[in-house]
Amino acid sequence: MNLEETARKIRTMEIRGAGRIARAAANALYVHSMEEKTTDLVHYRKKMNEAADLLVSTRPTAVSLPNAVNLVMRPLKNESDFLSARQNLEERALAFMKRSEEAVSRIGTIGARHIRDGDVVLTHCNSEAALACILMAHRQGMDIEVYATEVRPRNQGHITAKTLSDAGIKTNFIVDSAARYFMKEVDLCITGADAITVNGSVVNKIGTSQIALAAHEARVSFLVAAETYKFAPWTILGQRILIEERSSDEVIPAEMKNALPNVTVRNPTFDITPADYVDLIITEAGVYPPEMAYTVIKEQLHWDNEDMTSDLPYCEEE
């Protein structure tokens, strides 16, 4: 799949889920590099930077996307030889894809330790990492039950429910607004994340913060499963994460909208869960309280202030 097709599929959510988006971006950079005909380093760097810009522009909230691009692209600025630059970039892209896939498996193993036999677990959206924890617990022989939300308006919960059902896990499929009603039957909440800020706040699918609030009220543990590349380095400097708002056509049909001339349909894709409502963040590098998000950014992503204030096109502020 070439660069333009990958960008289109990320933008239209044919490719969705922060981990899948990140791997798709790394693969697109790898393919684009392989297809580039130039042997001039300056031209190659320009073309790859343009490709990186295009990919990062497709989804403004999922920080896994710019992090993946940055991990592949960042050393390119210091390269002095074309062949070395090309080889190193392609090796980094392949390494990132491998790392991403292994991270989900590792998170599943670590996360399963926080699920007890007999637990009822609530999950929201379709998170590879959150599902990995639940599926691993099931494979280890734990008798668990899951509440899976519908996740309007794109219905990602349908994918989650099918995955759980195919695995043989007893699953209750509920509308998003029923989460608080059923919270009294839940022992543990596990969701994924599209971004995690330096103060431990979690940006995830719309509705997550309401579930976290209901869990907090009910004294139910709320865990977040996320790869380390979903932490947002730029928030160290106070940059806010832009919350993507998508087309109203995802919420109501165009003909219905035309019949409601005085109604504005709002369709934010994500919301922000305060760190106070998050008990633990499960990553491939271990389990952290939200207050240690800064440590993850510095030690796992190897970002420093120079990186975050540089004028690299794929690191620019929105």
Residues with active-site annotation? 125, 194
Q: Given the structure tokens 């969705």, which residue do they identify?
A: 16
Number of helical H runs and strand E runs in the chain: 12, 10
Q: Given the structure tokens 């103060």, which residue do they identify?
A: 199
Which amino acid, 131? L
Instruction: Count the neighbouring beta carbons within 10 Å of the beta carbon of residue 139.
Output: 12
Closest by CA position to 49, among listed 11, 96, 85, 102: 85
d(CA 115, CA 103): 19
Q: At what angle do helices 82-112 and 64-73 cross, to 10 degrees?
A: 140
8 Å CB contact between 127 and 17: yes
Query: Which residues does 276 contact at the CB level (< 8 Å), separation at least 6?
Result: 216
The angle formed by the CA atoms of residues 226, 59 and 78, to the nearest 5 degrees, is: 80
Start-to-end C-alpha separation, the chain: 27
The number of C-alpha atoms within 13 Å of 200 and in the hemisphere containing its C-beta is 19
